[in-house]
Amino acid sequence: MNLKEIINESWFLSNGYIDSTSSIDLLEQKYIKYNLPILKQFKHIAVATTYSHLSDSLVQKNHSLWKKYFPDCHVIDIEKNRGHGFGIADSENALINLCKSKGGKWALKSSNDVIFNDSILNINVPDVDFIYLNGFKVEDLKAYNFNYTRHYNNHFYPQTNFYFIRADKIDYLYNEDYINETYEYIKTIKDYNNCTWDYIDGWSCENFLKQCVERNDLKKHYLLNQEYHIKLCKFVRGRRILDPAHKNMMISGVCHLQFPEEKIHQI
């Protein structure tokens, strides 16, 4: 089986943050247009957006943009922006819940600042339930004494901005009660720094996704083979990268392009 076959029966789910009309223009010019050859292959598309402020003009422009290219797509507006982490959890839960309610089998969960090229269509994968890219930083490699083979065989920290999941095989993505309880807690913290994981051990959407995979006993497949993984490890170590999200790196045809005006590193 290759990813093209899975894409043809998947929902495309994407979340993002909008703070101005210029960010909507950027979304169209740098991301949607680039991704069109792949996006056109999905039968169902849904997007969820958090806003800096809910204004009719921003909401309408965002809806019009997505409907311009995908007239039948679902556009979800997250009514309250609860900040980084919580906003992502809210939007991703809304997307997965929609997919499941519509009887979706596979979902490709991405985000508005991810680009991908048609090389992903030719990637062969085994018969599994979850296909992902690992997130890691130089400290994670150090924890394995820079033994890249051992890291490859044992490290599991799936990135949340690009993965395929059998939506019909999971109970839920993120525990909404826990998300809400921890949100109420962080509101009591003086000078909160917007990094929940600094206050609550294990609080991250990546960790919650990992728990979902393990809780539902999903068969998983890492998109990179060992040789490619070692190449990525050497890049992360050489540049002492501290962000596990691997921004502006083109990895197996996928790039988390958070900085569209900066160089893309081909790994």
The mean per-residue pLDDT over the stretch 150-172 comes to 97
> So what's the pLDDT on residue 214?
98
Domain ranges across the chain: 3-135+158-224
Query: How far apart, in Å, do the first and last CA atoms of the chain sit?
Result: 24
E strands of the chain, at which residues? 10-18, 44-51, 74-77, 106-111, 114-116, 130-134, 158-166, 220-222, 249-251, 254-256, 265-266
pLDDT in tens, 120-144: 999 999 999 999 999 999 999 999 9
Res. 53: pLDDT tops 90: no
Averaged confidence pLDDT in the chain: 96
Phi, psi angle pair for 42, to nearest 5°: -90, 140
pLDDT in tens, 83-121: 889 999 999 999 999 999 999 999 999 999 999 999 999
3-135+158-224 CATH fold: Spore Coat Polysaccharide Biosynthesis Protein SpsA; Chain A (3.90.550)
